[in-house]
Structure 1
Amino acid sequence: MANAGYTALRQFSFTTRPYLAVDDITGEPIGLDDVDTRVGWLLDLISGAEAQMLARLWQPATFDVLAAGVDRQGRKLPIQGHVAAARLGWTPHYPDGVYVPSRVTRVVTAQAVATLRTLAYRDTAIASLSARFDPATSRLAAPTTEAEYLPAGFVRGVVRQLTARARREGGALAGRLRITDMQAPPKTSAMARLSAADRQLAHLTVTDTVMTLTVKLPTTVAPTGRAQWRRVRLTAAIPPHLHGRPISEWHLPTLHLDHRGLLLRCAATETVPAADVTSGTCAVGVDWSPATLGAAAITTETPDGLVSDYQGWTYDDRGLGIKLARLQTEGQLLHRKAARLRRLAATAPPEVRAQLDAKIAVLDAHREAVGIKRGKINREMAFHFSSQVTDFAAAAGATVIAVEDLTTLETRGHGRVNNNRAAQSARRQAVDALTHTTAGVGAVVVSVPARGSSAQCPGCNEPLSRPGGYHTAWCSGCKIGGNRDHVAAVNLAKRALLGRGKAVRKRGRNPQIRVVEHAPVRRCRDKMCPTPSRPRHRRVRHSAPAATPPVGVNQTKTVPAPQASVWDTVQPVTPQGTGSREVHTSPTPATSVVGSMRSMQTL
């Protein structure tokens, strides 16, 4: 259970948009379209300098320095990216005659160093794998040290790259390869992380429901002096689900432009009850299911041992999993079409190549739109899943939630299509959402090994049989079984309770349990699993009843009421976690407007 009286800090993010902009000096209002234009100029300067800096630093010496973690004087590199870049002498270059404040340069260097530090791990892994790779057989030699062990999924991807490169070079590789030999410099999205700067560039003021961001923006596409950088006050509303939250600190946002204009990606720190993994006696196991996003079951530690009722709960994705599979297939089809047109355009005449390039641009735009839609659905499903699991654990009094370690979880044996669909599911996003949501109720998420969780009996640890097919499990010795995912969830919860005293904690990660211990889980006939709420789906009409027409007026045209969504429920789920929610008001009923107009005609 949560430590009584103890609190912890939790960071979360949300999005909002400004609805008012004024000049900080004169106080004159500025149109939001003009603000979008000026922010676009700022992002163009930042993204251009960042891309040029990444291309200039894309060499093995850069990753050697980052891997060593020290500068030329042997001092440890600081965590702040812009300070580390200043020590190493990494500075961005801007077009001739363009003046950029030093605080904007901080943003550029901080973003570039963060990208390079992320790729430093991949560079070390590629160098290690290429040294053990045999181009003739496309196989890797066995690792000799513990540092050479890497996740299997990551290894397979690098091996595919090495095999393709060996095929292009005639079946041989030129010694030890680096990331600079395998791929080009990465392309980053246009954004401005204001958190890397100080008050000279931006500062934030927050009241109860409104936040005001004062940021320095250029007044022209190519500013030549300080006078062409002016401060602008942007006023934005704080999302309603954050009102009244115990937020201790608001952080500077990240500026981003999308199809609707300026978007503020904000972050904040709030106080939540502190959770202790070692004191929990009731745990919820969450098994990632191939049929849906996940299933859960409860295991409790009693003086007589571990008990469970083996009655789990399966998440209802409301048909979104089928929609995601359809969107994934559509995106893959668009990708294949664009790739085929690119092959044709490579050898086509100039006039035909222009037509093919136009078609390729349309296909790429459609594929990007499909990806954006998939991202939104994955995010909504992840937070809806996390809220359901949190309610399930809170109703059972569980303060430990065990999830499968995603680094050891691989999908295989279900065919190429189903393996790809399972690999594309939002499991990592669901874990992050679950970590955030459960922290608000004093619970903690623990990662446990996934191997054997659905193949071994929780009671005797023997292999389970499948009398009813893939989705069933039965142990003839213990006489227990049921849904395969529910049995796996019992195993995961058992591993969390047995290994909670040996949990490994790393900065920025959930506690991990790496040792699998066994103890029999006895079936308890008492009801332990709470009954989840299952709201009935029904169609709800949001429109008002049709107005009675005046006497003597014949209605010749019937205007239908707005259609209700098939996902409207009796009790809509309250949004939890990060991200802003926009409240859309119901449209004005068209029937009343028609009736009022006809009334005016009769007067």
Structure 2
Amino acid sequence: MSTSGDRRTAVAARQFSVTTRAHMAVDDATGEPIGLDDVDTRVGWLLDLVTAAGAGLVSRLWQPATFDVLAAGRDRQDRRLPAQGHVAAARLGWAPIYPDGVYVPSRVSRVVTAQVVATLRTLAYRDTAIAALSARFDPATGVVSPPTGPGDDVPSGFARGVRRQLAARLRRDGGAPAGPLRITEIQEPPRMAAMAQLSAADQQLAQITVADRELVLTVKLPTCPAPAGRAQWRSVRLTATIPAHLYGRAITDWHLPTLVLDRRGLLWRCAATALVPAAALNSATVAVGVDWSPTTLGAAAIVAEGSGGLSSDYRGWTYDDRGLGIKLARLQAEGQLLHRKAARLTRLAATALPEVRAELQAKIAVLNEHRTAVGIKRGRINRELAFDFARQVTDYAAAAGAQVIAVENLTTLKTRGHGQVNNNRAAQSARRQAVAALAHTAAGAGITVVSVPARRSSAQCPGCNEPLARPGGYHDAWCPRCRVGGNRDHVAGVNLAKRALLARNKVTRRRGQMPTIRVAEHAPVRKCRDKNNPTPSRARHRRVRHSLPAATPWLGVTPKQHVPAPQASVWDTVKPTPPHGDAGSRDTHTPLQSATRVEDSMRSM
């Protein structure tokens, strides 16, 4: 709580992440400068040691007993396992093994074990779910029976993936399993990512300081691929600039980054703690509901609570992705085509002659490189799309004075009924990334993002809770009883905002997860004529000259007669009349009368 005069503002600490790159490197002992290419090479040696040791440790621990211990959360002395991964690994006796003659500091081993335990803890939930699903799997029909207990329910997409894995194992082995299967029986050990999470270490390996809008990271790096002693680990001081958009934030602490290598070299993934306005969810009176749309990323609508109950003007806002959605769909189709080509060539190479097999494998390698490049491009566009969407929704909610933003629960959201192509396109959209970006962006404005049930949000009337009619097709919604309607995505946004306001005192909060509302209560939302929807900004157009500059006439040439251009307008349908004497042009010009009629029709809307 911070106080300024008689005005008191509540603040809360929130962590966020940011990426940056070093622009200078020096040896910490001698102060001599080091080339950034040399730093990338030495970081690559560190990542090779971490990745190899982590992969070996995961392979040794890939057995059901490991997941039994992680699921129970107890060690051999029946003590609760600590949350820190490297401490839990030390208590359980899990230690990485390095090649003979290679010296690795104990703090690097902490980084390895922390990453391994985090991966295995994530897969422990999957192991329990696979055991429950395999027990209900019918080998004769290939169908998983419905769950009998409340704890056996898993997301439908996860269940479909496990069912395909069980069916593939049944075809491969030719017989039904004797009992429930574990994750170690149907999956291979996961590959370790080439990264070094320095947050698991202490100051003996790495430390970070802030000075003059710059981050200074001091980290020990090997001087050769296989260091034989402590002398071959030297400290390097790296300096990176803090991004300019963070200058105005109240950052209280910077945490040790995660080091990765990409095509441009060393990349820092830094985490920081900042103070943001604390949102009061229990006293919220205005909410924005965000509905995920099959045509664009999302649409939003506003619901306000007053003395007369809930009200809305049913005029929503639709996000304009500026054509990025079309580009993503094209890249997705291209990636799927490359995948099908590579799979077909793989099947052909399995039975081909040795010389033909070598040619096919070369083509497969090229296709895999192209598919990887397409995936990188899709990831970059998805990130840009997610943060642009988050910024626009946050500005929309702040202009309306909203205290909460309600989004659909992605675990209960099923994409179906729109065809195989559209269903796949919607399933691979950046919804989860957009939710994370929205939660981060809205927190800076003091707005809470909550997850609400998505079932029948676009099929029921917000006023009477009865099914809506579709007089104009799929994208239209109308309730003849309440005489409200419009775009179905906007109506769904009203329902989502209503559920957030009605159940704002029944929010479930879990560590590391978004606040969730699990009940869908109903109260009539009346249509009002009050303006609680922010006015969208209009794009400014360039100025148009009223006359052309005077040109020096040529001798012996009859100059053309020019007509002044029309006055600049916000309506793009107004087109200038062609110059006199330009009848020989093949361009089709719009007559002045028809253009005027289009302008009048647009102004009357």
TM-score, normalised to structure 1, is 0.88
Quote the Cα distance in structure 1 between the aligned partners of 2:533 and 2:500: 17
How far residue 142 of structure 1 moved from its aligned partner, in angstroms, is 3.0
Aligned with residue 513 of structure 1, among 472, 494, 517: 517
Aligned with residue 177 of structure 2, among 157, 173, 177: 173
Quote the Cα distance in structure 1 between the aligned partners of 2:373 and 2:533: 41
SS at match of 2:170: helix
Quote the Cα distance in structure 1 between the aligned partners of 2:541 and 2:111: 48
SS at match of 2:221: strand
Counterpart of 1:343 in structure 2: which amino acid?
R
How far residue 351 of structure 1 moved from its aligned partner, in angstroms, is 2.0
How far residue 538 of structure 1 moved from its aligned partner, in angstroms, is 8.1
Q: Within 5 A, what are the aligned runs for 1:384-403?
A: 384-403=388-407
Quote the Cα distance in structure 1 between the aligned partners of 2:342 and 2:8: 58
Quote the Cα distance in structure 1 between the aligned partners of 2:310 and 2:126: 42
Aligned with residue 330 of structure 2, among 326, 334, 340: 326
348-357 vs 397-406, greater mean Cα deviation: 348-357
SS at match of 2:464: coil
Whether 1:105 aligns to 2:109 is yes
SS at match of 1:244: coil
Number of the residue aligned with 1:479: 483
- Cα shift readout 1:201-231 (whole Å, capped 9, x = no counterpart): 0000112311110000000111000010000
Q: Higher RCO, 1 or 2 (CA under 8 Å, sep at least 6)?
A: 1
Q: Residues 4 and 365 (structure 1 numbering): CA distance in 2 closer, same or farther, change over 3 Å?
A: farther
Number of the residue aligned with 2:428: 424
Quote the Cα distance in structure 2 between the aligned partners of 1:191 and 1:496: 39
How far residue 533 of structure 1 moved from its aligned partner, in angstroms, is 2.3
Number of the residue aligned with 1:528: 532
Number of the residue aligned with 1:291: 295
Q: Residues 57 and 537 (structure 1 numbering): CA distance in 2 closer, same or farther, change over 3 Å?
A: farther
Number of the residue aligned with 1:586: none
25-34 vs 347-356, greater mean Cα deviation: 347-356
Number of the residue aligned with 2:224: 220
Quote the Cα distance in structure 1 between the aligned partners of 2:485 and 2:39: 61
297-306 vs 357-366, greater mean Cα deviation: 357-366
Aligned with residue 274 of structure 1, among 272, 278, 291: 278
Whether 1:130 aligns to 2:143 is no
Q: Residues 161 and 538 (structure 1 numbering): CA distance in 2 closer, same or farther, change over 3 Å?
A: farther
Q: Within 5 A, what are the aligned runs for 1:260-409?
A: 260-409=264-413
How far residue 497 of structure 1 moved from its aligned partner, in angstroms, is 0.6
Counterpart of 1:8 in structure 2: which amino acid?
A
Q: Within 5 A, what are the aligned runs for 1:422-461?
A: 422-461=426-465
How far residue 532 of structure 1 moved from its aligned partner, in angstroms, is 2.2
- Cα shift readout 1:362-419 (whole Å, capped 9, x = no counterpart): 1111111111110111111100001000000000100111100111101000111110
Whether 1:87 aligns to 2:91 is yes
How far residue 43 of structure 1 moved from its aligned partner, in angstroms, is 0.4
Gap runs ≥5 in structure 2: 544-605
SS at match of 2:154: coil
Quote the Cα distance in structure 2 between the aligned partners of 1:538 and 1:500: 47
- Cα shift readout 1:477-515 (whole Å, capped 9, x = no counterpart): 011110000000000000111111111111112211111
How far residue 534 of structure 1 moved from its aligned partner, in angstroms, is 4.3
Quote the Cα distance in structure 1 between the aligned partners of 2:134 and 2:441: 41
How far residue 171 of structure 1 moved from its aligned partner, in angstroms, is 4.9
Aligned with residue 183 of structure 1, among 159, 166, 187: 187
How far residue 243 of structure 1 moved from its aligned partner, in angstroms, is 1.1
Q: Within 5 A, what are the aligned runs for 1:231-270?
A: 231-270=235-274
Q: Within 5 A, what are the aligned runs for 1:151-166?
A: 151-166=155-170
Q: Does structure 2 retain, via aligned residues, the 8 Å contact 1:459–1:520?
A: yes
Quote the Cα distance in structure 1 between the aligned partners of 2:144 and 2:22: 53
SS at match of 1:221: coil
Aligned with residue 35 of structure 2, among 25, 28, 31: 31
How far residue 188 of structure 1 moved from its aligned partner, in angstroms, is 2.3
Q: Does structure 2 retain, via aligned residues, the 8 Å contact 1:107–1:194?
A: yes
Quote the Cα distance in structure 2 between the aligned partners of 1:538 and 1:424: 38
Quote the Cα distance in structure 1 between the aligned partners of 2:541 and 2:243: 27
Quote the Cα distance in structure 2 between the aligned partners of 1:135 and 1:533: 59
Number of the residue aligned with 1:75: 79
Quote the Cα distance in structure 2 between the aligned partners of 1:4 and 1:507: 28
Quote the Cα distance in structure 1 between the aligned partners of 2:502 and 2:401: 18
Whether 1:414 aligns to 2:418 is yes
Quote the Cα distance in structure 2 between the aligned partners of 1:320 and 1:240: 26
- Cα shift readout 1:337-366 (whole Å, capped 9, x = no counterpart): 111111111122222222222111111111
SS at match of 2:282: helix
Quote the Cα distance in structure 2 between the aligned partners of 1:328 and 1:144: 38
Q: Does structure 2 retain, via aligned residues, the 8 Å contact 1:289–1:485?
A: yes
How far residue 147 of structure 1 moved from its aligned partner, in angstroms, is 0.8
SS at match of 1:271: strand
Quote the Cα distance in structure 2 between the aligned partners of 1:423 and 1:4: 45
Q: Does structure 2 retain, via aligned residues, the 8 Å contact 1:136–1:171?
A: no
Quote the Cα distance in structure 2 between the aligned partners of 1:344 and 1:536: 58
**How many positions carry a matched residue from both structures?**
538
Number of the residue aligned with 2:561: none
Quote the Cα distance in structure 2 between the aligned partners of 1:208 and 1:507: 34
Aligned with residue 53 of structure 1, among 37, 45, 57: 57
370-379 vs 158-167, greater mean Cα deviation: 158-167
Quote the Cα distance in structure 2 between the aligned partners of 1:313 and 1:464: 20
Q: Does structure 2 retain, via aligned residues, the 8 Å contact 1:165–1:173?
A: no
Q: Residues 537 and 381 (structure 1 numbering): CA distance in 2 closer, same or farther, change over 3 Å?
A: farther
How far residue 328 of structure 1 moved from its aligned partner, in angstroms, is 0.4
Quote the Cα distance in structure 1 between the aligned partners of 2:249 and 2:130: 45
Whether 1:200 aligns to 2:174 is no
SS at match of 1:503: coil
Cα root mean square deviation, aligned: 1.4
Q: Does structure 2 retain, via aligned residues, the 8 Å contact 1:208–1:243?
A: no
Quote the Cα distance in structure 1 between the aligned partners of 2:276 and 2:264: 34
Quote the Cα distance in structure 2 between the aligned partners of 1:534 and 1:362: 47
Q: Does structure 2 retain, via aligned residues, the 8 Å contact 1:249–1:270?
A: yes
SS at match of 1:278: coil
Counterpart of 2:161 in structure 1: which amino acid?
G
SS at match of 1:286: strand
Identity %: 75
Counterpart of 2:523 in structure 1: which amino acid?
A
SS at match of 2:44: helix
Instruction: Choose 1 or 2 for highest CA Rg.
Output: 2
Number of the residue aligned with 1:210: 214
SS at match of 1:348: coil
Aligned with residue 491 of structure 1, among 479, 491, 495: 495
Counterpart of 1:42 in structure 2: which amino acid?
L
Number of the residue aligned with 2:470: 466
Quote the Cα distance in structure 2 between the aligned partners of 1:97 and 1:537: 70
TM-score, normalised to structure 2, is 0.87
How far residue 536 of structure 1 moved from its aligned partner, in angstroms, is 5.4
How far residue 441 of structure 1 moved from its aligned partner, in angstroms, is 1.0
Gap runs ≥5 in structure 1: 540-603
SS at match of 1:216: strand
Quote the Cα distance in structure 1 between the aligned partners of 2:76 and 2:344: 49
Task: List structure 1 runs of 4+ shifted beyond 3 angstroms.
Answer: 534-539
SS at match of 2:451: strand
Number of the residue aligned with 2:118: 114
How far residue 174 of structure 1 moved from its aligned partner, in angstroms, is 3.5
Quote the Cα distance in structure 1 between the aligned partners of 2:71 and 2:439: 30
Number of the residue aligned with 1:555: none
SS at match of 2:165: helix
